Structure 1
Amino acid sequence: MNDHPIGSEEQVRAELNHVLRAPSFQATDRNHRFLAYVVEETLAGRGERIKAYSIATDVFGRDDSFDPLQDPIVRIEAGRLRRALEHHYLAAGSLTGIRITIPKGTYIPAFEAPEPAPSVPASAPLDLHMKAPHVMVRAFEQHCWAADWPDLGRTLTLQVISALTRFTELFVYGFGTSMALSEAHSAPRVEIDYELTGNLTITRTSIRAEFLLQNVREGRFFWSHSIERVIGQSLDPSELVAVCGAIAGEVASIIAQRDGIMDGQAREMAGEMPTQFAAYHKLIEFQDYWRTVDLGRFEPLRQDLERVIAEDPRFAGAHACLSLLYSDAVRYGLDCGPEHPRPIERALLLARRAVQLAPMSGRARHALGVAEWFSGQPGKALETLRVACELNPNDSELNAEFGFRCAMRMEWDVGVPLLISSFQRNPQQSVQYHIGLFLYRFAMGDYEQAQQEAMAAIAPADVHPHPHIACAAALIRLGRHGEASAHLARAEAIAPGILDRLHDDLSARQIHPDLVAKLVLTLDPSRNGVAVLRQRGASQRH
């Protein structure tokens, strides 16, 4: 077993069973057996016997003549298993607090738990004098049907590093350091904030690259992306290198956008850079908040961003993110203290300042559009969000926001394609945007799909009543009253009295009156108490 095992054998087995049964563990039956075999062998104290030969013969059914030097099946399947595990933990997290990994260079599993981020005393002042984020690009694994291009993975690694160095606010380790640390078996002795790993798969007709970005300090994978490009039959080496170069440029731009780090060439469009690099870290924290909709992060982040704009008053990105927080205060009924009794006024002020500082910034227009929406100006908000998307048409978050707002106004032709494409490009974006697709499915009478979209909108923290209300509405239309009752009970527990004021609540969110009417009519039998549906569900069960 590991030199420093984490958790008991029972916990490890519980985690193994959870992974093997989870829909997010997208692996073949062969790799299910592969994972179970190496974990059980390790728990039994036979980890040193786990070799390519034993896996091939005991798991894959190869005969005694198997030669790992001639047959790369175990190495290829191990790479696929690693990717499947990374995807699972990115999508679903750990059940037990333990993560099962297969470290590169070995087939012996490790049982790990990320170290918690160090706590900062509440009285400690915000440190805005930190260095630039340090990024390490690990050598990308390569899987190829032929051995003609053994270094294409290294070529892509170099191209990604080169592309990232164009973003001058990043500290990116060079290619030599990347290669040395990727091949080292011991922990690196350099400081790393973010680590990019990837895999390159080459077939006769296509190149597929898969990427994962990890916050090393917290041990969290918070972004994943895949890019596939068709290649010609000639398989010209210059064409392959050119395709890898295009992939590198795309992934570097997305990473910079994801972390709020702007290309130096776009400074005139994005506004002035902050005087302290640590301000960017708050934008990263905001992106995590926006994706998870974890209201526990709201107040500390609001206070931190207020300090950021006080110290960097011309940093448009911080103004925009802070504006979105104040709009969320309106959306979720949060108290911002006596200094801001009307958070929507603060949201509008900050957003307008962001646009003034960076008139060509999509993020600034995003903040302004959301603030206009919650100030009761849906038409003006849609026009602002449309401009934001025109400024940055490849920003999946902007497309999702615009599509979401269009769906709320029943502008299906614009909103639905934007929402669908945004989730295809960025499946891990904020779950709140699924409500836009719920509204479309519900309006069209596709209640089964509507219920699935509503379920997908329930954030991990589960502190918002509206996805549960949406679930209940779809379930009632499907005749599943007992399940609907449970969701309504949860909505009432989160926001007491929400059902009694549902019409006013939905109208205040600028949802189209026809949608409000249909939702309220559907839920009307239970607006004066969830017990009605509970009773109906119980009678149906008996």
Structure 2
Amino acid sequence: MDGGSNSSASQRAAIAPAADDVRAQLDRLIASPDLDVPARARKFLRYVVEETLAGRADRIKAYAIGTEVFDRDPSFDAQTDPVVRIEAGRLRRALERYYLSGGLSDPVVITIPKGAYVPHFALRTHAVGAHASAVDALSPAAPPTGGPVVAPPSRQWGPWLGVAVAIACLVGLVLWGTLRVGQPPDAQASAPLPLGGPTLVVIPFADLGERPETRVYADGLTEEILSQLARFREITVLGRETSRGIPAGADAARIRRDLGVRYVLEGSVRAAENRLRVTGRLLDARTGTVLWSHTFDADLLVRDLITIQDDIARKVATAVAQPYGIIHRADQIRNGARWPDDLEAPACALGFYAYRATLSEESHAAIRSCLEQAVALHPAHATAWAMLSHLYLDEDRFGFNPRAGSSTPIQRSLDAARRAVRLDPANVRSLQALMVALFFAQQPTEALEVGERAVALNPNDTELLGEFGTRLGQAGAWQRGAELLEQALARNPGHSGYYSGTLAVYAYMQRDYARAESLIRQAALKKFPPYHFVAAVIYAQIGKSQEAAEARDEFLRMRPTIFEHWDEEMAKRNYRPEDVAHFAEGARKAGFPVPVQTAAESLLAARLEH
């Protein structure tokens, strides 16, 4: 068995794709909707691949990419303008996701190794199975230094992990037949799962270690992952008692048949000397497809085991369960990325997150209607009420599909959020909705207190971190707000447009206009009115008059009357007077019809007089 595994790994390492095959794969990637990056990142990918194939890999540096791909001027400094680093990280993560989803059957794998911008090429052989080929092809490898096409080097852990996983799977399949022995007939039967969307079960992580305590590590990690996953209310996670009864390596299809779950999280733990390696995988139980896979390495001499377990469990739970995460995207694909026909709350939730990713007025009304019918059918569903609270608020703050009536959008938003919290006081989505509604009801102190409570309940939720970071910044705590947004961006690049746009506001307020420009260009939110206002004031401050005028005209087309209520609009967002004055300065430069003297400027002038 050892010899066969080593031989297979060596054969895979010896195969390198031809330049024509790499170019064909590049064209496939550029054209694929499964590669979830904007046009600028596709341009980045084509540039580094073509330069490598032309034998100019040594020229692929941050400065060259910045000037030749992102049109920076000759004074470009990668230390102060992070555009290359940010786009490289976004592209690297998007390629990993692509090859674990839509690109599972592609013959050539193109990756961007960490710490460099030179791409790596590998020819994927399918004889060893889709799981192994996907993991092997995405394993970290040194960037090419010689010719344009380089095969992946063998890794110290590769052969042993292959053997250990094979043994674990074999033993698991044998043990699975005994799982139901001695149990009552209904012990493992499918039970009705609560309303709440996708369902997940965690198989105990396999012990592949050379040390006797590795079993303890594996058990502890499984428990911690279950605890972290339970914080996300959008998914239903089967309890630890059910998880413990499933042997490592059990067949996903059998688990789905017996437990009725859609997703299976499995993994392995290996400890040797002072090193710990953890591999996690998320499977679609219906098809057996690997939707996500990642390897974590840790040094037991540098950090204690409890800290390592907590860190890895947090990263796994965040990647898998967060809004816009792996499960969310898989459900979107399963539903054809369209608005579902049925009006059950989980289906509406799927549409809600699609709306939040783009913030378009076109989808707002349909999703609001769906959620209203969902809460009529399921009045005790807290998350649906919380989502509805956001949609009511968006009638006011973005001007999306406002309704006439005695009750204002903000009041309806507050009522829905408070109902959500009453139904489930520990539901992070409910607390997030209440935080935002209170904030726009001009109760920032109470809003931020609720936000702190929500983050304490689930510090892994990037949707929450981004929202709370935004409110902190608007209230004047720009530094802490930016730190939370950076965390959200690092953990959840799939929602990078919103985070980049808000970070652009932070950079603007710090008068770092170069960084603000870089960030606003990464925020693909052109259907979102505030995007155009922020872009206009940034461009105006750096003297890009034509781009400022284009953004100004687009914003005025979408929100033509907002400047008639400038002071009210700024007040409801709880900006400090000095920040409002800074916005007004940029807005005047951009040609917006800002009042001659705003309320904030009058207040600042009065302070100076005293």
TM-score of the aligned structures, taking structure 1 as reference length:
0.58
For residues 451 and 519 of structure 1, the distance between their equivalents in structure 2, rounded to whole angstroms, comes to 15
Is 1:290 aligned to residue 359 of structure 2? no
Native 8 Å contact 1:30 1:60 kept in 2: no
Q: State which of 533, 543, 567 in structure 2 corresponds to 1:469.
A: 533
2:375 aligns with: 309
Q: Distance in 1 between matches of 2:267 and 2:362?
A: 32
Alignment partners' CA distance in 1, 2:548 and 2:212: 56
Question: 1:286 offset after TM fit, Å?
Answer: 3.4
Aligned counterpart in structure 2 of residue 179 of structure 1, from 244, 249, 268: 249
Classify 1:392/1:138 alpha carbon distance in 2 versus 1 (closer, same or farther; 3 Å). Answer: closer
CA contact (8 A) 2:210 2:272 kept: no
1:14 to 27, 41, 47: 27
Write the letter of the residue equivalent to 2:423.
L
- Cα separation, 2, equivalents of 1:422 and 1:451: 20
Q: Aligned letter for 2:587?
A: L
* Match in the other structure for 1:372: 438
Q: Is 2:233 the counterpart of 1:170?
A: no
Offset, 1:347: 0.8
Query: How many angstroms does 1:349 deviate by?
Result: 0.9
Q: Report the equivalent of 2:108.
A: none
1:92 aligns to what?
Answer: none
CA–CA distance in structure 1, aligned partners of residues 362 and 299 of structure 2: 44
Contact in 2 for aligned 1:306/1:322 (Cα 8 Å): yes
Question: Aligned equivalents of 1:248 and 1:496: distance in 2?
Answer: 48
CA shift for structure 1 position 189: 8.7
Aligned to 2:301: 232
In 1, the alpha carbon distance for the partners of 2:206 and 2:26 equals: 29
Residue in 1 that maps onto 2:551: 487
The aligned amino acid for 1:473 is V
Identify if the C-alpha distance between structure 1 residues 441 and 217 changes in structure 2 by more than 3 Å, giving closer, same or farther.
farther
Structure 1 CA distance for aligned equivalents of residues 479 and 512 of structure 2: 17
CA–CA separation in structure 1 for the residues paired with 2:292 and 2:533: 29
Structure 1 residue corresponding to 2:119, chosen from 28, 32, 37: 32
Give, in whole Å, the separation in 2 of the partners of 1:522 and 1:417. 25
**One-letter code of the match for 2:249?**
M
**Alignment match of 2:392 (pick from 319, 326, 344):** 326
Structure-2 change in CA distance of 1:429 and 1:204 (3 Å): farther
Aligned-residue RMSD, C-alpha: 5.6
CA contact (8 A) 1:156 1:244 kept: no
Deviates more, 1:319-328 or 1:509-518: 509-518
Residue 179 of structure 1: SS of its match in structure 2?
Answer: coil
Superposed displacement of residue 414, structure 1: 4.3
* SS class of match (1:25): helix
Question: Does structure 2 retain, via aligned residues, the 8 Å contact 1:404–1:436?
Answer: yes
Q: What is the SS of the residue equivalent to 1:476? A: helix
Deviates more, 1:468-477 or 1:199-208: 199-208
Q: Does structure 2 conserve the Cα–Cα contact (< 8 Å) formed by 1:405 and 1:415?
A: yes
CA distance in 1 between partners of 2:290 and 2:349 (Å): 17
For the 8 Å contact 2:352–2:387, the answer to whether it is kept is: yes
Query: For 1:432 and 1:309, how far apart are their aligned partners in 2?
Result: 27
**Matched residues in 1 for 2:268 and 2:562: separation?**
47
Counterpart Cα distance in 2 of 1:441 and 1:361? 32
Describe the shift of the 1:501–1:350 C-alpha distance in structure 2 as closer, same or farther (beyond 3 A).
closer
Displacement after TM superposition at 1:525 (Å): 3.9
1:326-405 superposed matches below 5 A: 326-335=392-401, 337=403, 342-405=408-471
Alignment map for 1:222-261 (pairs within 5 Å): 229-232=298-301, 246=310, 249-250=313-314, 254=318, 258=322
Q: How far does residue 371 in structure 1 lie from its aligned partner after superposition?
A: 1.1
Question: Closer, same or farther in 2 for the Cα pair 1:419/1:248, shift >3 Å?
Answer: closer
Alpha-carbon spacing, 1:60–1:516, altered in 2? closer, same or farther (3 Å): closer
- Of residues 464-473 and 193-202 in structure 1, the stretch that sits farther from structure 2 once superposed is 193-202
Matches of 1:217 and 1:495, distance apart in 2: 46
Instruction: Say which SS state the counterpart of residue 34 (structure 1) adopts.
Output: strand
Distance 2:46 2:156 in 1: 19
Tell me the number of residue pairs that the alignment of Structure 1 and Structure 2 aligns.
Answer: 424
Query: Is contact 1:438–1:451 with CA below 8 Å preserved after alignment?
Result: yes
Q: Does 1:135 align with 2:200?
A: yes
CA contact (8 A) 1:131 1:278 kept: no
Distance 1:337 1:502, change over 3 A: closer
CA distance in 2, matches of 1:458, 1:219: 33
Q: Distance in 2 between matches of 1:132 and 1:259?
A: 12
Structure 2 unpaired stretches of 5+: 1-21, 31-41, 48-86, 93-111, 126-135, 162-192, 325-342, 594-610
1:309 partner amino acid:
V
Q: CA deviation at 1:297?
A: 3.9
Q: CA offset at residue 477 of structure 1? A: 2.0
TM-score by length of 2: 0.53
2:198 is matched by which residue type in structure 1?
P
Counterpart of 2:519? Answer: 453
Task: Please state if 1:512 is matched with 2:576.
Answer: yes
